[in-house]
Amino acid sequence: MVQLLNTREIADYLRLKQRKVYDLVQRGEIPCTRVGGKWLFPKDQIDHWLAARNGTEPVVRMAAAPPPVIAGSHDPLLDWCVDESRCGLALMGGGSLSGLERFAEGAAVACGLHAFDTASGEQNLPFIRRQLGDRDVVAIEWARREQGLVVAAGNPLGIRSVADLAASRARIVRRQPEAGAQLLFDHLVMGAGLGWADLVTLDRPVRVETEVGLAVLGGQADAGLAIRAVAHQLRLDFVPLHWERYDLVMRRRDYFEPPLQTLLRFARSPLAARRAEELQGYDLSGLGTVHFNGP
């Protein structure tokens, strides 16, 4: 079981003031993860981080032979490519940040990640640095995806922006706090000069983007944030707001192994390109680009 320390506990453990801990978090210099709006610090990774800073352990190597699963965020194109490519991998549901934690624990061979960092404006990399900065991992671009508001067919409330959600008193379905879509939604709401207290939300968040669309389709909600592909598949309207980058995080050694190479090779095929076009809201021009390469 991974021991997680809160900000006060990690400050005591490191003999630092809490303000100094927050400075390290903002600069992406300390292993941590954000769950439910709170920063948590995996003690084993903190110990490795301290050893690396002292020069006694320059690189932390992840455990051998993780399960052949991809944890993290759901993506319709990834789901389809894993199945069609027969790469031998399986998918483990959950949000971006919980998936990154499972990957860090060695419970998955890779993690699908789309997480917007409000402090830096960067996509994915601050979270990778905090959680895995001292590990021999790489982040490979999977796709750029179009995020926006999924609304009922015909857009009966006339929603054109996040600000319209408050003006129309639309019922909003949210994702779990550790989901990349919810991190982005929080940022967009704040950018519109709003807080969640200004909006009408359903009592319970949903776990995957498809459930956002189904809540709108079934009339339980008027709007929610999801990718264009979800709206297109369910024949709902879509209000575009943001293009994001979805990355796959993996160990360097596993990148060269047959399962991930088979998946990435298939993703570059004309068949996968046609599927992305059918789903809508995908840009595969950067597929395979290395955005992070650990020590």
> What pLDDT does residue 1 have?
47
> What pLDDT does residue 37 have?
64
Tell me how far apart the alpha carbons of residues 235 and 276 are, in angstroms, rounded to a whole number: 16
Q: Within 10 A of 119 (CB to CB), how many other CB atoms are there? A: 10
pLDDT, average across residues 103-120: 92
Mean pLDDT score across all residues of the chain: 90
pLDDT, average across residues 38-66: 67
pLDDT, average across residues 196-202: 96
Helix 7-14 vs helix 18-26: crossing angle, to nearest 10: 100
Q: Which residue has the tokens 């809508």?
A: 280
Q: Is the pLDDT of residue 60 over 70?
A: no
C-beta of residue 99 within 8 angstroms of C-beta of residue 112: yes
Q: pLDDT above 90 covers what percent of the chain?
A: 66
Q: Is the pLDDT of residue 34 over 90?
A: no
Dihedral sign for Cα atoms in the order 30, 33, 39, 45: negative
Q: pLDDT above 70 covers what percent of the chain?
A: 93
> What pLDDT does residue 50 have?
81
273 versus 4: the higher-pLDDT residue is: 273
> What pLDDT does residue 35 have?
61
**Which amino acid is residue 32, in one-letter code?**
C
Q: How confident is the model at residue 4 (pLDDT cuts 50, 70, 90)?
A: confident
> What pLDDT does residue 33 have?
67
> What pLDDT does residue 36 have?
58
> What pLDDT does residue 272 have?
98
State pLDDT tens for residues 213-254: 999 999 999 999 999 999 999 999 999 999 999 999 999 989
Q: Around 250, how many Cα atoms within 13 Å sit in the side-chain half-sphere?
A: 27
Helix 258-267 vs helix 76-85: crossing angle, to nearest 10: 120
Q: How confident is the model at residue 24 (pLDDT cuts 50, 70, 90)?
A: confident
183 versus 48: the higher-pLDDT residue is: 183
Q: Is the pLDDT of residue 292 over 80?
A: yes
> What pLDDT does residue 90 have?
92
Tell me how far apart the alpha carbons of residues 21 and 18 are, in angstroms, rounded to a whole number: 5
State pLDDT tens for residues 112-159: 999 999 888 899 999 999 888 888 899 999 999 999 999 999 999 999
Strand-pair partners of 242: 147
